Amino acid sequence: MGTVARELKLAAELGLRTSLHVEAGGTIADLREHGLLRDTTFVHANGISDEELRMLADAGSSLSISPDVELKMGFGSPMTGRALAAGLRPTLSIDDVPSVGGDMFSTMRTAFAVQRGLDGGLRSRDLLEFATVDAAQSCGLDARTGSITPG
């Protein structure tokens, strides 16, 4: 936690956005306890609790899901539905191009198929927003890009 705390504090001082790969539960609560939960993008997060997902939402953090990698590496089902239930709009990422396809449409199809298989609660429009508007917002670029609205 010492190294992570120093790096996140420095990033905050410099006005830089950060991303962290996280798997284990308790990590998000630890970051919050140290005052380090902010506009960070967390990648994967399959092992965190629903309460920690709500902590991310409350802190203005984002969650990036890599469905192909998460399934292939045995992390469990992608967090799409749980993220939405916690008030997070997830983004999508590839994460490891040597081991999975490197195109966003394949990633969108996997995320869609898995969540539809779990609870049927995802629309094609959601996936398009995860890859555009929500991704731009997670990077702090939503004022400049991400929208596919004409004009």
The secondary structure of 68-108 as a DSSP string is: HHHHHTT--S-SHHHHHHTT---EE----TTTS---HHHHH
pLDDT tens by residue, 64-122: 999 999 999 999 999 999 999 999 999 999 998 998 989 999 999 999 999 999 999 89
Give the chain's length. Answer: 151
Contact indicator for 45, 19 with CB cutoff of 8 Å: no
In this prediction, residue 147 carries a pLDDT of 85
Q: Which residues pair with 21 in a beta bridge?
A: 43
Residues in Cβ contact with 51 at an 8 Å cutoff, skipping those fewer than 6 apart: 29
How far is Cα 15 from Cα 21, in angstroms, rounded to an integer?
Answer: 20
Q: What is the mean pLDDT of residues 143-148?
A: 85
Mean pLDDT of 128-133: 94
User: What pLDDT is recorded for position 151?
Assistant: 63
To which residue do tokens 């905050």 refer? 12
Please tell me the least confidently modeled range out of 23-27, 42-46, 109-113, 135-139.
Answer: 23-27
Mean pLDDT on 6-20: 94
Q: What is the pTM of this model?
A: 0.90
